[in-house]
Amino acid sequence: MRINIYRHILLITALVVLMPLFTAGEYVIGPEDVLEIKFWQDGSLDADVKVRQDGKISLDIIGELQAAGLTTSELESKIVKQMSRYNKAISQSVVRVTSYGYQKVYITGQILHPGKYTFEEIPDLWTIINEAGGITETGDLTRVMIIRGGDLAGEVSVINVAEMVASGRMNSLPKIRAGDTIEISRSPAGLPARTLSDQPQAKNIFYVMGAVNTPGALTLESNTDVLDALALAGGPAENADIKEVTVVSKDGANTQMVKINLEKYITTGITGRYMVRPEDNIIVASKGGGFLGINSATDVVAILGAISTSILLYDALTTSD
Protein backbone atom coordinates (compact mmCIF):
# COMPACT_ATOMS: atom_id res chain seq x y z
CA MET A 1 0.00 0.00 0.00
CA ARG A 2 2.79 2.41 0.95
CA ILE A 3 4.64 1.63 -2.31
CA ASN A 4 1.55 2.61 -4.33
CA ILE A 5 1.25 5.89 -2.38
CA TYR A 6 4.93 6.67 -3.05
CA ARG A 7 4.43 5.92 -6.73
CA HIS A 8 1.48 8.33 -6.90
CA ILE A 9 3.49 11.03 -5.13
CA LEU A 10 6.40 10.55 -7.54
CA LEU A 11 4.04 10.65 -10.55
CA ILE A 12 2.34 13.85 -9.38
CA THR A 13 5.73 15.48 -8.63
CA ALA A 14 7.02 14.57 -12.09
CA LEU A 15 3.92 16.07 -13.73
CA VAL A 16 4.27 19.31 -11.76
CA VAL A 17 7.95 19.61 -12.72
CA LEU A 18 7.58 18.61 -16.38
CA MET A 19 4.31 20.35 -17.28
CA PRO A 20 5.94 23.79 -17.82
CA LEU A 21 8.34 22.17 -20.30
CA PHE A 22 5.45 21.06 -22.52
CA THR A 23 3.90 24.55 -22.64
CA ALA A 24 7.03 26.74 -22.52
CA GLY A 25 7.38 26.90 -26.29
CA GLU A 26 3.69 27.58 -27.02
CA TYR A 27 2.91 30.90 -28.66
CA VAL A 28 1.27 33.57 -26.50
CA ILE A 29 -1.43 35.57 -28.29
CA GLY A 30 -1.06 39.36 -28.49
CA PRO A 31 -2.86 42.44 -29.90
CA GLU A 32 -3.21 42.57 -33.72
CA ASP A 33 -2.89 38.79 -34.08
CA VAL A 34 -5.51 37.28 -36.39
CA LEU A 35 -7.14 34.09 -35.11
CA GLU A 36 -9.08 31.34 -36.87
CA ILE A 37 -11.59 29.73 -34.46
CA LYS A 38 -13.41 26.51 -35.42
CA PHE A 39 -16.07 24.45 -33.63
CA TRP A 40 -16.22 20.80 -34.62
CA GLN A 41 -19.82 20.33 -33.44
CA ASP A 42 -21.24 23.41 -35.22
CA GLY A 43 -19.38 24.94 -38.18
CA SER A 44 -21.81 27.87 -38.34
CA LEU A 45 -20.06 29.30 -35.26
CA ASP A 46 -16.62 29.33 -36.93
CA ALA A 47 -14.99 32.78 -37.03
CA ASP A 48 -11.88 34.70 -38.08
CA VAL A 49 -11.20 37.47 -35.58
CA LYS A 50 -8.49 40.05 -34.93
CA VAL A 51 -7.28 40.67 -31.39
CA ARG A 52 -7.96 44.31 -30.54
CA GLN A 53 -5.46 46.64 -28.86
CA ASP A 54 -7.24 46.03 -25.53
CA GLY A 55 -6.44 42.31 -25.97
CA LYS A 56 -10.05 41.21 -26.49
CA ILE A 57 -11.95 39.41 -29.26
CA SER A 58 -15.67 39.28 -30.03
CA LEU A 59 -17.53 36.05 -30.83
CA ASP A 60 -21.18 35.40 -31.66
CA ILE A 61 -23.30 34.23 -28.74
CA ILE A 62 -20.68 34.63 -26.01
CA GLY A 63 -19.58 38.20 -26.82
CA GLU A 64 -16.19 39.57 -25.70
CA LEU A 65 -13.32 37.47 -24.40
CA GLN A 66 -9.80 38.33 -23.24
CA ALA A 67 -7.37 36.65 -25.65
CA ALA A 68 -4.05 38.50 -25.30
CA GLY A 69 -1.72 36.86 -22.83
CA LEU A 70 -3.19 33.37 -23.39
CA THR A 71 -1.79 30.48 -25.38
CA THR A 72 -4.00 29.03 -28.12
CA SER A 73 -4.86 25.99 -25.97
CA GLU A 74 -5.79 28.21 -23.02
CA LEU A 75 -8.07 30.28 -25.24
CA GLU A 76 -9.64 27.11 -26.65
CA SER A 77 -10.57 25.98 -23.13
CA LYS A 78 -11.93 29.42 -22.26
CA ILE A 79 -14.08 29.57 -25.42
CA VAL A 80 -15.55 26.08 -24.84
CA LYS A 81 -16.33 26.89 -21.22
CA GLN A 82 -18.22 30.04 -22.22
CA MET A 83 -19.91 28.51 -25.29
CA SER A 84 -21.12 25.39 -23.45
CA ARG A 85 -23.29 27.60 -21.24
CA TYR A 86 -25.44 28.39 -24.27
CA ASN A 87 -24.93 25.25 -26.35
CA LYS A 88 -24.28 22.03 -24.42
CA ALA A 89 -23.30 20.25 -27.66
CA ILE A 90 -20.13 22.36 -27.97
CA SER A 91 -17.31 20.46 -26.30
CA GLN A 92 -14.29 21.35 -28.40
CA SER A 93 -12.85 24.33 -30.28
CA VAL A 94 -9.64 24.85 -32.25
CA VAL A 95 -7.78 28.17 -32.25
CA ARG A 96 -5.09 28.84 -34.84
CA VAL A 97 -3.04 32.03 -35.34
CA THR A 98 -3.19 32.91 -39.04
CA SER A 99 -1.30 36.23 -38.83
CA TYR A 100 1.26 37.19 -36.19
CA GLY A 101 0.53 40.90 -35.96
CA TYR A 102 1.80 41.25 -32.39
CA GLN A 103 5.37 39.98 -32.88
CA LYS A 104 6.32 42.81 -35.24
CA VAL A 105 9.67 44.46 -35.93
CA TYR A 106 10.40 47.48 -38.13
CA ILE A 107 13.53 47.77 -40.28
CA THR A 108 14.48 51.05 -41.96
CA GLY A 109 17.39 52.88 -43.55
CA GLN A 110 19.86 51.31 -45.98
CA ILE A 111 18.03 48.01 -46.38
CA LEU A 112 16.72 46.53 -49.64
CA HIS A 113 13.17 45.87 -48.39
CA PRO A 114 12.36 48.22 -45.48
CA GLY A 115 9.07 47.89 -43.61
CA LYS A 116 7.22 45.95 -40.93
CA TYR A 117 8.00 42.25 -40.44
CA THR A 118 5.96 39.89 -38.26
CA PHE A 119 7.07 36.56 -36.82
CA GLU A 120 5.73 33.68 -34.76
CA GLU A 121 9.02 33.88 -32.88
CA ILE A 122 11.30 36.88 -33.46
CA PRO A 123 14.67 35.64 -34.79
CA ASP A 124 18.12 37.11 -34.20
CA LEU A 125 19.22 40.47 -35.61
CA TRP A 126 21.30 39.01 -38.46
CA THR A 127 18.39 36.80 -39.61
CA ILE A 128 16.03 39.80 -39.66
CA ILE A 129 18.48 41.83 -41.77
CA ASN A 130 18.67 38.98 -44.28
CA GLU A 131 14.89 38.49 -44.17
CA ALA A 132 14.60 42.11 -45.35
CA GLY A 133 16.87 41.41 -48.34
CA GLY A 134 20.17 42.53 -46.81
CA ILE A 135 21.73 45.99 -46.83
CA THR A 136 22.05 48.33 -49.80
CA GLU A 137 25.42 49.13 -51.39
CA THR A 138 25.89 52.06 -49.02
CA GLY A 139 24.57 50.32 -45.88
CA ASP A 140 26.94 50.26 -42.91
CA LEU A 141 26.81 47.10 -40.79
CA THR A 142 29.32 48.55 -38.33
CA ARG A 143 26.73 51.06 -37.06
CA VAL A 144 23.34 49.31 -36.88
CA MET A 145 20.98 51.23 -34.62
CA ILE A 146 18.36 49.46 -32.48
CA ILE A 147 15.54 51.68 -31.20
CA ARG A 148 13.60 49.83 -28.54
CA GLY A 149 9.81 49.73 -28.41
CA GLY A 150 7.37 48.50 -25.77
CA ASP A 151 8.38 48.98 -22.13
CA LEU A 152 11.90 50.00 -23.22
CA ALA A 153 10.62 52.64 -25.66
CA GLY A 154 13.23 55.27 -26.50
CA GLU A 155 16.28 53.21 -25.52
CA VAL A 156 18.82 53.32 -28.36
CA SER A 157 21.96 51.26 -28.95
CA VAL A 158 24.45 51.10 -31.83
CA ILE A 159 25.78 47.66 -32.73
CA ASN A 160 28.79 46.63 -34.85
CA VAL A 161 27.01 43.73 -36.55
CA ALA A 162 29.78 43.29 -39.13
CA GLU A 163 32.45 42.66 -36.49
CA MET A 164 30.26 40.22 -34.51
CA VAL A 165 29.27 38.20 -37.57
CA ALA A 166 32.81 38.17 -39.03
CA SER A 167 34.28 36.98 -35.72
CA GLY A 168 31.64 34.28 -35.24
CA ARG A 169 30.09 35.92 -32.17
CA MET A 170 26.48 35.66 -33.36
CA ASN A 171 25.35 34.82 -29.82
CA SER A 172 26.50 38.28 -28.72
CA LEU A 173 23.98 40.04 -30.96
CA PRO A 174 21.32 41.77 -28.84
CA LYS A 175 17.92 40.10 -28.64
CA ILE A 176 15.27 41.83 -30.74
CA ARG A 177 11.86 42.32 -29.11
CA ALA A 178 8.38 43.04 -30.42
CA GLY A 179 8.02 46.71 -31.38
CA ASP A 180 11.75 47.33 -31.90
CA THR A 181 13.02 49.34 -34.88
CA ILE A 182 16.26 48.38 -36.63
CA GLU A 183 17.89 51.19 -38.62
CA ILE A 184 20.75 50.47 -41.02
CA SER A 185 22.97 53.57 -41.19
CA ARG A 186 24.45 54.97 -44.39
CA SER A 187 28.20 54.48 -44.66
CA PRO A 188 30.22 57.68 -44.03
CA ALA A 189 30.26 59.94 -47.12
CA GLY A 190 27.85 57.50 -48.79
CA LEU A 191 30.65 55.35 -50.21
CA PRO A 192 30.07 51.61 -50.81
CA ALA A 193 30.47 49.58 -47.65
CA ARG A 194 33.06 46.83 -47.35
CA THR A 195 32.17 43.15 -47.22
CA LEU A 196 32.04 41.13 -44.01
CA SER A 197 35.07 39.10 -45.04
CA ASP A 198 37.13 42.27 -45.41
CA GLN A 199 36.49 44.00 -42.07
CA PRO A 200 39.66 45.59 -40.65
CA GLN A 201 40.62 45.18 -37.02
CA ALA A 202 40.91 48.80 -35.93
CA LYS A 203 42.40 49.93 -32.63
CA ASN A 204 39.81 51.01 -30.06
CA ILE A 205 40.97 54.65 -29.95
CA PHE A 206 40.17 57.90 -31.72
CA TYR A 207 41.91 61.26 -32.07
CA VAL A 208 40.67 64.79 -31.47
CA MET A 209 42.84 67.59 -32.88
CA GLY A 210 42.69 71.28 -33.66
CA ALA A 211 40.85 73.86 -31.55
CA VAL A 212 40.08 71.76 -28.46
CA ASN A 213 41.42 72.18 -24.94
CA THR A 214 43.13 68.78 -24.61
CA PRO A 215 43.86 67.32 -28.07
CA GLY A 216 45.22 63.82 -28.48
CA ALA A 217 44.27 60.12 -28.51
CA LEU A 218 41.30 58.90 -26.46
CA THR A 219 39.85 55.49 -25.68
CA LEU A 220 36.64 54.83 -27.62
CA GLU A 221 33.63 53.84 -25.54
CA SER A 222 30.43 52.46 -27.09
CA ASN A 223 27.79 54.93 -28.36
CA THR A 224 30.20 57.89 -28.49
CA ASP A 225 29.15 60.64 -30.90
CA VAL A 226 31.11 63.73 -32.00
CA LEU A 227 29.69 65.88 -29.18
CA ASP A 228 30.79 63.26 -26.63
CA ALA A 229 34.22 63.18 -28.28
CA LEU A 230 34.65 66.95 -27.96
CA ALA A 231 33.63 66.80 -24.31
CA LEU A 232 36.22 64.07 -23.66
CA ALA A 233 38.83 66.30 -25.32
CA GLY A 234 38.12 69.09 -22.84
CA GLY A 235 35.56 70.84 -25.02
CA PRO A 236 36.08 73.33 -27.86
CA ALA A 237 38.77 75.96 -27.34
CA GLU A 238 37.83 79.65 -27.17
CA ASN A 239 38.72 80.16 -30.83
CA ALA A 240 37.00 76.97 -32.07
CA ASP A 241 34.76 77.14 -35.12
CA ILE A 242 32.29 74.30 -34.49
CA LYS A 243 30.66 75.00 -37.84
CA GLU A 244 33.75 73.42 -39.37
CA VAL A 245 34.35 70.00 -37.83
CA THR A 246 36.01 67.41 -40.06
CA VAL A 247 35.99 63.67 -39.36
CA VAL A 248 38.61 61.58 -41.15
CA SER A 249 37.34 58.02 -40.90
CA LYS A 250 39.27 54.91 -41.90
CA ASP A 251 37.51 52.18 -43.84
CA GLY A 252 40.12 49.46 -44.27
CA ALA A 253 42.69 50.75 -46.77
CA ASN A 254 40.45 53.69 -47.67
CA THR A 255 39.78 56.96 -45.87
CA GLN A 256 36.61 59.02 -45.92
CA MET A 257 36.21 62.66 -44.88
CA VAL A 258 32.95 63.95 -43.42
CA LYS A 259 32.18 67.64 -42.74
CA ILE A 260 29.90 68.36 -39.78
CA ASN A 261 28.30 71.65 -38.74
CA LEU A 262 27.98 71.05 -35.00
CA GLU A 263 26.45 74.46 -34.38
CA LYS A 264 23.56 73.60 -36.69
CA TYR A 265 23.16 70.19 -35.06
CA ILE A 266 23.15 71.63 -31.54
CA THR A 267 20.57 74.33 -32.33
CA THR A 268 18.27 72.46 -34.73
CA GLY A 269 19.12 68.77 -34.56
CA ILE A 270 19.63 68.79 -38.35
CA THR A 271 22.54 66.70 -39.62
CA GLY A 272 22.10 63.55 -37.61
CA ARG A 273 24.45 62.26 -34.96
CA TYR A 274 27.76 60.93 -36.22
CA MET A 275 28.83 57.96 -34.09
CA VAL A 276 32.61 57.85 -33.64
CA ARG A 277 34.37 54.79 -35.06
CA PRO A 278 37.72 53.24 -34.10
CA GLU A 279 40.71 55.31 -35.30
CA ASP A 280 38.56 58.26 -36.39
CA ASN A 281 40.37 61.63 -36.54
CA ILE A 282 38.14 64.52 -35.42
CA ILE A 283 39.52 67.92 -36.42
CA VAL A 284 37.99 71.11 -35.02
CA ALA A 285 38.76 74.22 -37.06
CA SER A 286 39.77 77.50 -35.41
CA LYS A 287 38.38 80.84 -36.45
CA GLY A 288 40.96 82.30 -38.83
CA GLY A 289 43.24 79.31 -38.18
CA GLY A 290 45.62 77.45 -40.44
CA PHE A 291 45.22 74.26 -42.42
CA LEU A 292 41.99 72.58 -41.27
CA GLY A 293 42.12 74.75 -38.17
CA ILE A 294 45.41 73.20 -37.01
CA ASN A 295 48.23 75.57 -36.22
CA SER A 296 50.82 73.05 -34.99
CA ALA A 297 53.19 71.41 -37.48
CA THR A 298 53.12 68.27 -35.32
CA ASP A 299 49.34 68.02 -35.65
CA VAL A 300 49.56 68.46 -39.42
CA VAL A 301 52.04 65.59 -39.70
CA ALA A 302 49.78 63.40 -37.56
CA ILE A 303 46.92 63.52 -40.09
CA LEU A 304 48.80 63.76 -43.39
CA GLY A 305 48.78 59.97 -43.77
CA ALA A 306 45.00 59.76 -43.39
CA ILE A 307 44.33 62.66 -45.75
CA SER A 308 46.74 61.44 -48.43
CA THR A 309 44.87 58.14 -48.49
CA SER A 310 41.62 59.98 -49.20
CA ILE A 311 43.33 61.81 -52.10
CA LEU A 312 44.44 58.48 -53.55
CA LEU A 313 40.87 57.21 -53.18
CA TYR A 314 39.57 60.28 -55.03
CA ASP A 315 42.07 59.73 -57.83
CA ALA A 316 41.05 56.08 -58.13
CA LEU A 317 37.36 56.96 -58.31
CA THR A 318 37.82 59.72 -60.90
CA THR A 319 40.11 57.52 -63.01
CA SER A 320 37.52 54.73 -63.04
CA ASP A 321 34.94 57.25 -64.27
Residue 202: its pLDDT value, please? Answer: 59
Residue 302: its pLDDT value, please? Answer: 43
Main-chain phi, psi angles of 204, to 5 degrees: -85, 55
pTM passes above 0.85:
no
Q: Which long-range contacts (CB under 8 A, 24 or more apart) does 150-154 make?
A: 150/177, 150/178, 150/179, 150/180, 152/177, 153/179
Q: What is the DSSP letter of 211?
A: S
Per-residue pLDDT of the chain in tens (321 residues, 90 and over written 9): 555 554 554 444 444 444 443 444 678 888 888 999 998 888 888 999 999 989 999 998 888 999 999 999 999 999 988 888 888 878 888 999 988 888 899 999 999 999 999 888 899 999 999 999 999 988 989 889 999 987 787 789 999 998 888 888 888 899 999 889 999 988 865 556 555 545 545 578 899 988 899 988 899 988 898 999 999 999 999 999 988 898 888 765 556 788 888 888 888 766 567 889 888 899 998 886 544 444 443 344 444 444 444 444 334 444 444
Q: Residue type at 138? A: T
Residue 279: its pLDDT value, please? Answer: 85
Residue 4: its pLDDT value, please? Answer: 54
Domains in the chain: ranges and CATH: 2-99 (3.30.1950.10), 104-198 (3.10.560.10), 205-320 (3.10.560.10)
Q: Residue type at 248? A: V
Main-chain phi, psi angles of 280, to 5 degrees: -65, 145
Cβ-Cβ contacts under 8 Å for 209 (sequence gap 6 or more): 215, 216, 281, 282, 283, 284, 294, 299, 302, 303
Residue 233: its pLDDT value, please? Answer: 93
Residue 258: its pLDDT value, please? Answer: 84
Residue 66: its pLDDT value, please? Answer: 93
CB 176 within 8 A of CB 124: yes
Residue 235: its pLDDT value, please? Answer: 92
Main-chain phi, psi angles of 40, to 5 degrees: -65, -35
